[in-house]
Chains A and B, each alone.
Chain A
Amino acid sequence: MERFDRLRGAVPARPHDARAIAALAANPGCARRAVMDAAGVDKDATATHLGFPAPFGQSPFAITRGNAFEALVKDSGCAELLRLLRELLGLPIPLAAYTDLGDIGGNPSAHLRHAHTLKLIDRAARDDDEAGTLYDHPLLRLEIAGHTSYLEPDVVAFRLAGRFHIVEIKSFAIVDGQAEPDKVAAAARQAAVYVLALRTMLAELGHDPARVSHEVVLVCPENFANRPAGTLLDVRRELAVLRRQLSRMARVGAIVDGLPEELTFDLAPDADGVPTRPVPELREAVRTVGARYAPECLSTCDLCFFCRDEAAAGGSTELLGRQVRDALGGVATVSEALGLADGSLTPGEGQEEIARLLRLADRIYAEAG
């Protein structure tokens, strides 16, 4: 733990939210992200200080639209959501109870709200008939690399036939049964975080964690209207990735042990919070931990521009996306691949096959003119 404190410097650890946790699962191979997240480093501030501010955070318009759509779905005791659940899962008519776990008067602490959530979920898990069906704003908790993070979910959990389901409300449209795959994937990853947190909570309460369904209900606007429609999403794969990633973070010590003892990402902020650490020094420190850049990082990681710049400077094949990188297994840089293709470079051991394919591709391009 002291090691992490030294890595982070003299600032409090940054709490994780579901979005950040989901992003972790998006690129499990990245040691840089794993170490910095485990230490609770403020990656945004680091990136800004390095001169690569992330284009990050949602646009205010997207947030407003998301909130408006969510309000529409949850209006009048989740009237729209009840209709969807009745159509989609055959929720019986008498099950219409709605409890807002976030609404306990004034603005109480996370701890109090979590206790309230625990109490009600426990009652619901005991299959008390009066315990209700829909639970809005449950405050869940997840342990990440030794830190306990509260997840502030805009999510509804509901109970049907003794099983809990998570409802994830997103404002991207499903047009003609199709939605943008990466947005659905991001929603699934985020929902998986909530499923995992709710399972953890049930396990803490001494119930069977498997009672939280791995099928989440995704609610999105349908076609070009603002009318909500629901689909079931299987998040088993995302759950497995997330679990593996979280256990890796718990074991991130192994990566950290391989790092130099004096390494720190401390920005050395002065009294006004302005970072005073020399930029070249910080750059060296960040580079000490290897990154695995992929174009997908641009939508999930604060450090993306820094890593992209690094990958571009090294001519790395990672810039071209995961598929290309995997297809060019064993060839690290773009110039190396080009050299193999035009025959100016002799393939090393194990590179013969990929070199043959590259030369073939080169010949085809040459013939095509």
Chain B
Amino acid sequence: MSERLDALEERINALRAEVRRAVRARDGALARSLRAELRGVERAWDQALADQEPPARETPSASEPDEAPRAGAAREPGALVPVREQVHQALTILGVPASAKMIVAVHGALRAGSLRGTQLASLRRDEERSFRSSPFARPYYLCAALTDRLSASRGLLTVSTWPLERRAIGPLSPRVDFLTTAIRVAEHILRLEEAGEPTPSGAERLLSRLAYNVPGVPVAPDAPPRPAMVVKAARAELEVHAGADADARARIADRARARLGDAERLFGGTILSLAREEAS
């Protein structure tokens, strides 16, 4: 069986090289057919690998019964990974606090994941419960962003390993984080292009949606914006806000360090601590 896998891997590598040559030679038709063949071989490889696995290990995602029926055709890359892991991946790509909607969009576009918004609904609460019962038992927690009142910002998710400054949300932070998101998505697409990988159409759609609200990106009808232009335009606006935003975030982070306990620092202060804050 493993010989078959080896053969398939060789074939995949050869096909990738051919796709790259075809793309460089701007032979669209050839590149398309080669890509189709490549996908076919990759599926065969997936299948061969799945056949080798002992059946018990095939479904570690018992918490996601909905995924099972879809796994038959071609297993989605994200389906074997727990939801929190997938969210962590998306947040790592972005590097800024993000809403559940953005996480789902980014994960769907760049990781070909199949996250759904509803799966994220109770995530933060579950993480908080886990943290409170045994603090720092996990390598990372998905936690809250902190508002200037040191409470959990509504709907935003962050990673506990990030510095507090990044998890704090000042008045300019939503804009800064939006621009950073656009830059990160564009850079991810650039990396794919450099590696000769085809850009997933979902990623292009996501990028054009983001780029539409970045001033200075040339808009051409019917054509997706060029990632390099998006990076440049977003950086230009980012520069305007960066200083003021960093100051505001540092101030919030300092206050959070001084006033909040471990759990509150991760998951946001309560009304009581807010009242203390008001009184002081």
Q: Measuring CB to CB, which residues of chain A are less than 8 angstroms from any residue of chain B?
A: 71, 75-80, 82-83, 86, 93-94, 96-100, 102-106, 108, 130, 132-133
Q: How far is the CA of A296 from the CA of B268 in the complex (A)?
A: 48
27 contacting pairs across A/B (C-beta < 8 A): A75-B101, A76-B99, A76-B174, A76-B178, A76-B181, A76-B213, A77-B174, A77-B177, A78-B174, A79-B213, A80-B213, A82-B175, A83-B215, A94-B240, A97-B171, A97-B172, A99-B171, A100-B147, A102-B154, A103-B147, A105-B151, A105-B270, A106-B151, A106-B271, A108-B271, A130-B171, A130-B244
Q: How far is the CA of A329 from the CA of B122 in the complex (A)?
A: 63
Q: How far is the CA of A104 from the CA of B150 in the complex (A)?
A: 9
Q: How far is the CA of A5 from the CA of B173 in the complex (A)?
A: 49
Minimum CB–CB distance for A340 against chain B, Å: 62
Q: How far is the CA of A93 from the CA of B172 in the complex (A)?
A: 12
B152 at the interface (CB under 8 A from A): yes
Q: Which of B205-254 contact A (CB under 8 A)?
A: 212-213, 215, 237, 240-241, 244, 248
Interface residue count on the B side (C-beta < 8 Å): 31
Verify A103–B153 contact, CB threshold 8 A. Answer: yes
Verify A96–B175 contact, CB threshold 8 A. Answer: yes
Nearest chain A residue, comparing its CB with the CB of B170: A97
Chain B residues within an 8 Å CB radius of A104: 147, 149, 151, 274
B269 at the interface (CB under 8 A from A): yes
Verify B177–A83 contact, CB threshold 8 A. Answer: no
Verify A76–B102 contact, CB threshold 8 A. Answer: yes
Q: Measuring CB to CB, which residues of chain B are less than 8 angstroms from any residue of chain A?
A: 99, 101-102, 147, 149-154, 171-175, 177-178, 181, 212-213, 215, 237, 240-241, 244, 248, 268-271, 274
Chain A residues within an 8 Å CB radius of B101: 71, 75
Verify A98–B171 contact, CB threshold 8 A. Answer: yes
Chain A residues within an 8 Å CB radius of B271: 105-106, 108
Tell whether A77 pairs with B154 under 8 Å between CB atoms, given A104-B274, A105-B271, A105-B274.
no
Chain A residues within an 8 Å CB radius of B240: 93-94
Q: How far is the CA of A341 from the CA of B212 in the complex (A)?
A: 62
The 3 lowest CB-CB distance pairs between A and B, nearest first, are A77-B174, A105-B151, A97-B171
